[in-house]
Copies of this chain bind each other. A is one copy, B any other.
Amino acid sequence: MSASPYDALRAWFLGPRAENADLLERLVTEALRDHVFWRRNYHPEDGVVIRETDKRTPGYEDAVATLTQELMGLLAELKRDVPFFSGRYKGHMVWQQTIASQVGYFAAMLYNPNNVTTEAAPVTTRLELEVAAQLARMIGYDPARSWGHLTSGGTVANFEALWMARNIVYLPVAAAMACREMGLSLEVTRPDGRPADIGELGLHDLLGLRGTDALDVWQSLRRAVPRAEWHERIDRHTLAWAGYQEYTRELGRQFGDPLPDGVVLVAATAHYSWEKIVRSLGIGSRQIVFVPVDRHFRLDADALWERLAVLGATRTPVLACVSVCGTTEESAVDRLDLVLEVRERAERELGLSFHVHSDACYGGYAAAVTRAADGTRRTAAAIRADIAADWPDDAWLRSMAALERADSVTIDPHKLGYVPYPAGAILLRDRRARELVAVDPPYLAPTEEKAGEERFIGRFIFEGSKPGAAAAAVWLSHKVLPLDERGYGFLIGRTVAGARALHAALGADVSPFRVVRFPVPDINVVCFVTLHPSLTALAELNRFNEGVYRQLSLARPVGDPEYIVTRTRVTSPHYDGAIIPVLDELGNVSYDVWREEPGGLVVLRATVMDPFLAERKPATDHVAGFVAALHRACGAVMGPESLTDW
């Protein structure tokens, strides 16, 4: 009998009924005792601070009593938490965490390393860089040129990505101003491939160089100037130094060219945190240009080109384009390959390049399905044989393969990596970009680059303290579930199969109700709307689906919900490109009515992170169970008499 991943899967998690409780307890206890004996063996000549007699004092006993009692209180409170672990939970992007990550986190937490410098985390800083390199290899980045690190989550990772993108875009401007002041001449490559002297380029051309070329010119400039003079001769000309207010005026003075403000192109489905990010960076919400989605909820590449053509014509600088790999609401995977084609066309035809960022916070780990055990790319046929006859299609595979050409990618291990919060990650295709955000604290003397990376990761990142335990959790989880077909690829493939089974089952007859489904998802989030023939107005329909949501969530007024889903609202204009087929199926709601409704259409959302959903012989058939519960929930909202038909 050979080892099957279906069996391995059963060892990876504590289990919906805590079936692996013995295993988890054994490993937790092992980690705890191991730490205990480390303390005992450290300078054993030191005396005992807490003597056994101390433990018999009222002060000690009171403190232990308080601790025990308050812990019992906390444990009781936690019973009101969300049962993410259950096959009945289909809500947010969270399910069980791997045993490896739970134990890894706990083990390292006892040491409490701070992954900001090796002085405070000699072991886990290395694990963090290893983990980032593993993720980089998975998406296809060149390990020698790329770099990455962990963050507290997707918002900080995306924030760092856009912060770096802005710094890169403005580099050639700073370089041009520095060259002008020093009378230096530096050659740069334009996006269409023609060489030029940096002094010849206007502001619009400078802001439209390719990122790699911008970093090249920056590097050349630094080589041409002694290090001690960098600040005075180069850095003084950067946006980071001058700030936006001064820079706005200085660009006017130096280039006499009042360009429109730089914009950020963002897929209309992007996470709401992008708005916080552009606000805080000082870019401003107004400068977000949303790119419409197609009927698969993917960024519409044609629409992107149209936007770019307008931006090119109005000479508007583009700071970055944010494409999504696994949208929060629908798990849609943008056609990143087409986004990159559009950029190439813009470089050729408009002489305009820009930073492409993939927000793969949710979907990044799905790239593991494309990797064989030896790290090579699997064929489409091999993957389909494992997962589904029609998944993934060639377009999906091209989108995932394109990640290796994105300038930056963010991936959250605490989503499809099945590890505890907090664990986000940012990957940079060109490691030189990290130098642009470096700040040296007084307790680190300048060193050459390599030493800096090993000793003081904090130099290149935003956060000043970060749990090394998170790095240990991700590291151990990657050891047990490799980032290929044996580990995460298999796990995520099972959730895709589960989501497809659920999507199919929702097409069954649930009369007198009807379920209108969004298209089969790109990964594993199934969206749908329930309806009843008696409901015709959009407001009624929304009220009905809100009611169903309340039945199938912890918001349920009476009793436990049978299953747990979430809901979202699909509004205009962000979803204009995707809504027509949905409205067509709904039948009674016109596009104009939908567009005028500020709350849009209420949509129910089932996230399938449970790899056991698509079992052939399940212990409990949660696919059928879900459809039946949905039917009962609809009935409960509509009134019991509505159910007699079924």
| CA–CA, A37 and B57, complex, Å | 34
A466 to B424, CA, bound (A): 11
Q: Is the CB of B17 within 8 A of A49?
A: yes
Stretch from A240-248, A375-383, A510-518 forming part of the interface with B: A240-248
Q: How long is the Cα–Cα vector from A13 to B35 in the complex, in angstroms? A: 14
Q: Which A residues, 45 to 63, have Cβ-Cβ distances below 8 Å to chain B?
A: 45-51, 54-55, 57-63
| A68 in contact (CB, < 8 A) | yes
Alpha-carbon distance between A97 and B349 when the two chains are bound, in angstroms:
60
Residues from 439 to 470 in A contacting B, C-beta threshold 8 Å: 439-443, 445, 462-469
CA A100 to CA B31, docked complex, whole Å: 18
* A120/B272 in contact, CB under 8 A: no
- Inter-chain contact A109/B106, CB cutoff 8 Å: yes
- In the complex, whether A399 has a CB less than 8 A from a CB of chain B is no
Q: How far is the CA of A120 from the CA of B571 in the complex (A)?
A: 23
Which of these, B54, B70, B440, contacts A272 with CB under 8 Å?
A: B440
Chain B positions within 8 Å of A124 at CB level: 81
Is A567 in the interface zone, CB < 8 Å from B? yes
CB proximity to B under 8 Å, residues A267-292: 271-273, 275-276, 278-287
- Which residues of B lie under 8 Å from residue A393 when comparing CB positions? none
Assuming A25-B32, A441-B272, is B48 touching A19 (CB within 8 A)? Answer: yes
Bound-state CA distance A585–B472 (Å) is 46
A441 to B553, CA, bound (A): 19
Are B163 and A280 in contact (CB-based, < 8 A)?
A: yes
Asked if A1 is at the interface of the complex by the 8 Å CB criterion, the answer is yes
The answer to the question of A547 belonging to the interface, with a C-beta cut-off of 8 Å to chain B, is: no
Give A550 Cβ to nearest chain B Cβ, in Å: 12
Instruction: Report A477-520 CB contacts with B as 1/0, cut-off 8 Å.
Output: 00110000000000000000000000000000000000000000
- A75:B31 contact, CB within 8 angstroms: yes
Does A6 have its Cβ within 8 Å of any Cβ on chain B?
Answer: yes
Instruction: Answer yes or no: A528 CB below 8 A from chain B CBs.
Output: no
Once A5-B59, A25-B33 are accepted as A-B contacts, the answer to whether A112 and B421 lie under 8 Å apart by CB is: yes
Contact across chains for A462 and B280 when beta carbons are under 8 A apart: yes
**What 1/0 mask marks residues of chain A from 1 to 31 whose CB sits below 8 Å from any chain B CB?**
1111111111110111111110111011111
Chain A positions 62-82 with a Cβ under 8 Å from a chain B Cβ = 62-64, 66-68, 70-71, 73-75, 77-82
Question: Contact between B122 and A554 (Cβ–Cβ < 8 Å)?
Answer: yes
Residues on the B chain within 8 Å of A249, using CB: 248
CB distance from A2 to the nearest CB of B (A): 6
Q: Are A243 and B286 in contact (CB under 8 A)?
A: yes
Nearest neighbor of A440 in chain B, beta-carbon distance? B272
* Cβ contact within 8 Å between A49 and B464: no
Min distance, Cβ A166 to any Cβ of chain B, angstroms: 9
Residue of B nearest to A97 (CB): B112
Contacts of A244 in B (CB 8 A): 243-245, 248, 282-284
- On whether the beta carbons of B282 and A283 are closer than 8 Å, the reply is yes
Q: Determine the distance from Cα of A28 to Cα of B105 in the docked complex, in whole angstroms.
A: 14
Task: Establish whether residues A64 and B11, one from each chain, have CB atoms under 8 Å apart when the complex forms.
Answer: yes
B contact residues around A106 at 8 Å (CB): 106, 109
**Chain B contacts for A12, CB-based, 8 A:** 63
Residue of B nearest to A110 (CB): B102
Across the interface, do A282 and B10 meet the contact criterion of CB distance under 8 Å? no
Q: Is A261 an interface residue (CB 8 A)?
A: yes
Total copies of this chain within the assembly: 2
Could you tell me the distance between the alpha carbons of A16 and B46 in the complex, rounded to whole angstroms? 9
**A99 at the A/B interface (Cβ < 8 Å)?**
yes
A351 smallest CB distance to B (angstroms): 22
Write out the residue numbers on chain B whose beta carbons fall within 8 Å of the beta carbon of A230: none
Does chain B have a CB within 8 A of A521? no
Q: Is A529 an interface residue (CB 8 A)?
A: no
Which of B2, B36, B38 contacts A58 (CB under 8 A)? B2
Min Cβ gap A511→B in Å is 27
A358 within 8 A of B: no
- Which residue of chain B is the closest to A436 with respect to CB atoms? B279
User: Would you call A536 an interface residue if the criterion is a C-beta within 8 Å of the partner chain's C-beta atoms?
Assistant: no
Binds B, one of A88-96, A211-219, A297-305, A576-584: A88-96
**Pairwise interchain contact B70-A479, C-beta atoms closer than 8 A:** yes
A153 contacts across to B, CB distance below 8 A = 152, 463-466
Residue pair A87, B480 in contact (C-beta under 8 Å): no
Contacting residues, chain B, for A600 (C-beta < 8 A)? 442
A36 to chain B, nearest CB (A): 4
Q: Which of B74, B424, B442, B571 contacts A476 (CB 8 A)?
A: B74
Question: Are B480 and A443 in touch, CB under 8 angstroms?
Answer: no
Q: Are A276 and B439 in contact, with the CB atoms below 8 A?
A: yes
A572 to chain B, nearest CB (A): 12
Q: Report the minimal beta-carbon distance from A33 to chain B, rounded to whole angstroms.
A: 7
A588 at the interface (CB under 8 A from B): no
Across the interface, A67 reaches (CB within 8 A) one of B47, B99, B421, namely: B99
CB distance A239 to B568 under 8 Å? no
Q: Which residues of B contact A424 (CB under 8 A)?
A: 465
* A599 contacts B by Cβ under 8 Å: yes
Tell me whether A619 is interfacial, beta carbon within 8 Å: yes
The answer to whether A139 has its CB under 8 Å from any CB of chain B is no
A156 on interface, CB distance cutoff 8 Å: yes
Q: A57-B1, A59-B4, A119-B553 are in contact. Are A155 and B420 (CB under 8 A)?
A: no
Contacts A82-B122, A107-B78, A282-B244; A273 near B464 (Cβ below 8 A): yes
B49, A10: Cβ atoms closer than 8 Å: yes
Determine the chain B residues whose CB is within 8 A of the CB of A39 once the complex forms. Answer: 14-18, 83, 85-86
A50 and B243 form a contact (CB under 8 A): no
Q: List 6 A-B contacts (CB under 8 A).
A: A17-B48, A30-B71, A155-B464, A245-B262, A246-B284, A329-B443
The 7 closest A-B pairs by CB, nearest first: A243-B284, A282-B282, A47-B619, A7-B59, A244-B244, A152-B152, A11-B63
